[in-house]
């Protein structure tokens, strides 16, 4: 009999493509994905899977080169660098008009309501709107207005939404964390592309970052939400923290003799250059916040299987790397499930 899996897909920008490879490996082994909770790109991939359209979506994103991605960038200089209408318009074409309650499996998308400073769970209503709101990465995609609520990426408060599936009565909870700071031995597969197009893409991102206004009030809201979330989580699950994050208690390591810098957890910093633009700076700050919050969620609600995708493998907005990230997700899921099954059978 197939084991029923509750799948949790975390946020992490372009690294969310790795979720597709994870799903492929889970299904290849005969597990039955019975429900999904997702945040940001995890909500997008999870929603498309629940709608039965993941193969069509994968075929589309794997066909995109630098120039195709540039054509999908509808620039906005208001509350985000990109309106997202072209990208999500294509997703709407693939998925069609469908409500969450009509999906083949239970589904939850997590977003953040900036107006009321709270986490929002979408478990019914328009699937497209739920995915769009959950994936409204601050500074990159414009927020979604719903009545008097301003909805943005759920990763601000809950980058790994395990709680929505805890009561699912599945055999296993598998969570995919896209903000891991370990797993140093995994590398992104190399797929050669024309250097000219890559240069154009990087130039565009840097240009968006240098010209993009970022209102102080919005920045203050994000920082306040981050602080409140961390304090609430620390108070709730404090007994877990010492055992779950031993490295976090260590002081920052001194640089190695060969000059290669190390992070506070002892892992080598691959890119020793600072943010190239305001957009890059905001996204790097957002990732630091998500990494910390994800650790609290994992410690408080440990999944049966945790699949860790290292955040260093690509930048937040490198959405043209779908083939590489899908392959990497498949590889990490294979190794993780091999270890789990070996320990279970021993």
pLDDT confidence bin for 202, thresholds 50/70/90: low
**Which listed residue (11, 40, 134, 139) is catalytic?**
40
Percent of the chain with pLDDT over 90: 49
Reduce the DSSP state of residue 35 to 3 states and report it. Answer: strand
3-state secondary structure of 227: helix
User: With left for phi above 0 and alpha for psi between -120 and 50, is residue 60 left, alpha or beta?
Assistant: alpha
Q: Residue 25 is encoded by which pair of tokens?
A: 């490996």
| Dihedral sign, Cα of residue 235, residue 223, residue 144, residue 208 | negative
pLDDT at 333: 98
> 278 pLDDT exceeds 50?
yes
Instruction: Give the model confidence (pLDDT) of 45-84 as tens digits.
Output: 999 999 999 999 999 999 887 777 777 776 665 665 567 7
- In the chain, domain spans: 4-205+285-345
| pLDDT beyond 50 at 216 | no
Is residue 332 classed as helix, strand or coil in its secondary structure? helix
Encode 20-59: b = buried (16+ Cβ within 10 Å), e = exposed: bbbbbbbeeeebebbbbbbbbbbbbbbbbbbbebbeebbe
Helix or strand holding residue 49 (H, E): helix 41-50
Per annotation, catalytic residue among 113, 134, 139, 153: 153
From CA 287, how far away is CA 34, in angstroms rounded?
Answer: 29
The answer to whether residues 134 and 44 touch, using CB atoms and an 8 Å cutoff, is yes
Report the Cα–Cα distance between both ends of the chain, in Å, rounded: 20
From CA 239, how far away is CA 230, in angstroms rounded? 15
What is d(CA 9, CA 209) in angstroms, rounded to the nearest whole number?
28
Strand partners, 152: 112
Distance, CA of 155 to CA of 74 (rounded, Å):
23
pLDDT at residue 80 in the model: 55
* Opening angle at CA 155, ends 151 and 161, nearest 5: 110
- Catalytic residue at 153? yes
> 168 vs 35, 172, 316, 324, CA distance in Å?
8, 10, 31, 32
Helix axes 54-62, 41-50, angle to 10 degrees: 130
More confident of the two residues 53 and 260 = 53
4-205+285-345: CATH number: 3.40.1090.10
pTM of full prediction above 0.75 = yes
């Amino acid at each position: 009999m197939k084991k029923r899996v509750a799948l949790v897909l975390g946020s992490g920008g372009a690294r969310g493509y790795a979720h597709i490879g994870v799903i492929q490996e889970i299904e290849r082994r005969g597990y039955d994905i019975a429900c999904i909770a997702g945040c940001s790109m995890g909500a997008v991939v999870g929603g498309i899977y629940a709608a039965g359209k993941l193969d069509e979506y994968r075929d589309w994103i794997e066909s995109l080169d630098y120039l195709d991605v540039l054509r999908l960038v509808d620039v906005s200089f208001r509350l985000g660098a990109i309106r997202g209408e072209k990208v999500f318009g294509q997703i709407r074409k693939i998925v069609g008009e469908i409500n969450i309650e009509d999906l083949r499996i239970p589904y939850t998308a997590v977003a953040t309501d900036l107006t009321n400073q709270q986490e929002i769970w979408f478990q019914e209503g328009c699937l497209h709107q739920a995915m769009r709101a959950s994936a409204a990465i601050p500074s990159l995609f414009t927020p979604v207005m719903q009545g008097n609520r301003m909805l943005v990426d759920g990763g601000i408060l809950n980058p790994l939404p395990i709680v929505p599936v805890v009561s699912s009565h599945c055999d296993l909870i598998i969570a995919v964390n896209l903000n891991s700071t370990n797993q140093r031995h995994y590398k992104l597969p190399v797929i050669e592309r024309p250097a000219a197009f890559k240069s154009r893409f990087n130039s565009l991102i840097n240009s968006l970052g240098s010209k993009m206004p970022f209102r102080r009030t919005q920045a203050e809201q994000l920082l306040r939400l981050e602080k409140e979330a961390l304090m609430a989580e620390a108070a709730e699950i404090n007994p877990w923290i010492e055992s779950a994050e031993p490295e976090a208690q260590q002081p920052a390591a001194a640089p190695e003799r060969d000059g290669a810098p190390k992070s506070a957890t002892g892992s080598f910093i691959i890119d020793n250059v600072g943010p190239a633009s305001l957009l890059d700076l905001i996204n790097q700050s957002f990732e630091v916040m998500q990494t910390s919050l994800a650790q609290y969620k994992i410690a408080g609600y440990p999944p049966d299987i945790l699949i860790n995708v290292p955040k260093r493998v690509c930048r937040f907005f490198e959405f043209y790397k779908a083939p590489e990230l899908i392959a990497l997700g498949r590889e990490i899921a294979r190794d993780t499930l091999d270890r789990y099954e070996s320990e279970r059978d021993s």
